[in-house]
Amino acid sequence: MSAPMRLAAARPLVPPVDHRPIPPLTAIEVDRFRSKQACGTFGPQGRCTVVWCGAANEWSAGGYGRFLIWRGGKRIRIMSHRIVYWLETGVDPGTSVVRHGCDFPPCNTPGCLTLGDYWANVHDMFARRRAHTAGLRPYQPAARIAQEAADTGADSKMCIRCGHIKSLETEFDRNPVNPDGREWWCIACISAVTSFACQRSRGAR
């Protein structure tokens, strides 16, 4: 079986992220946290008014902020937007996910943050076309498929999820990040996963 066909085989979705409750912060820690924020006009359409200017995760440029504290001699990193949600609402997000309605990772604007779960976050990722995975090893064959389609001017390619050859023009959404200008997955597969994630986020079984 070829690599693209093996990729198309069904596999379980990634398990939920193991978020933990936020330890109580001291007044000094809160002041240090606030000192790493900036106010102004940021993000898409300028809707974000507070952004994180401290350390960020290494997964993306302008990524999610990280705040460092120590407890019992152990270093603990907490995502800045989770602390913002806790400070502004008085509710510890606990094991839940704090979602960015603005889709701007450095944002610390309280009005942009909502509480959800892993499946709602997955739904956001697909709905906003943020599932760009070209750099991940399992998806490298998909990048080669896209590159070949771009180099040869092909009008169809294999969807790496379902394994079917489909029309680039009518059955793949546009994605300028990829070599052929189209998504790795076909429209039907993206819709199926998005629908499933949305159902899970609403508690459907």
Q: What is the mean pLDDT of residues 193-205?
A: 47
Confidence category of residue 76, pLDDT binned at 50, 70, 90: very high
Confidence category of residue 71, pLDDT binned at 50, 70, 90: very high
- Maximum mean pLDDT: which of 26-30, 113-117, 165-169, 200-204: 26-30
> 66-71 and 74-79: which strand pairing?
antiparallel
Rounded Cα distance, 145 and 186, in Å: 13
Helices marked H in the chain — which ranges?
3-8, 27-34, 80-89, 118-127, 140-152, 168-171, 187-201
**Residue 136 in this model has a pLDDT that exceeds 60:** no
- For the purposes of burial, counting CB atoms within 10 Å of the CB of 66, is it exposed (0-12), middle (13-18) or buried (19 or more)? middle
**Residue 115 in this model has a pLDDT that exceeds 80:** yes
Q: What is the mean pLDDT of residues 155-181?
A: 85
The domains located in the chain, with CATH, are 3-14+127-201 (no CATH), 27-116 (3.90.75)
**Residue 182 in this model has a pLDDT that exceeds 80:** yes
What integer pLDDT is reported at residue 205 of this predicted model? 35
Share of the chain above pLDDT 90, in %: 26
- Report the chain's terminal Cα–Cα distance, integer Å: 33
Q: Which tokens go with 63?
A: 């990524």
| Residues 149-162: tens digit of each pLDDT | 888 888 999 887 78
**Residue 2 in this model has a pLDDT that exceeds 60:** no
- C-beta atoms surrounding 117 within 10 Å: 19
SS3 44: helix
Q: What is the mean pLDDT of residues 133-153?
A: 72
> Which of these ranges, 11-15, 26-30, 55-59, 81-85, has the smallest mean pLDDT?
11-15
What integer pLDDT is reported at residue 29 of this predicted model? 96
What integer pLDDT is reported at residue 1 of this predicted model? 41
What integer pLDDT is reported at residue 193 of this predicted model? 63
Q: Please give the DSSP secondary-structure letter assigned to residue 177.
A: T
What integer pLDDT is reported at residue 54 of this predicted model? 87
Q: What is the mean pLDDT of residues 137-154?
A: 77
Q: Which tokens go with 190?
A: 């993206």
- Residue 4 near residue 142, CB atoms below 8 Å: yes
**Residue 12 in this model has a pLDDT that exceeds 50:** no
- Angle CA(44)–CA(83)–CA(46) in degrees, nearest 5? 15
Whole-model pTM over 0.85: no
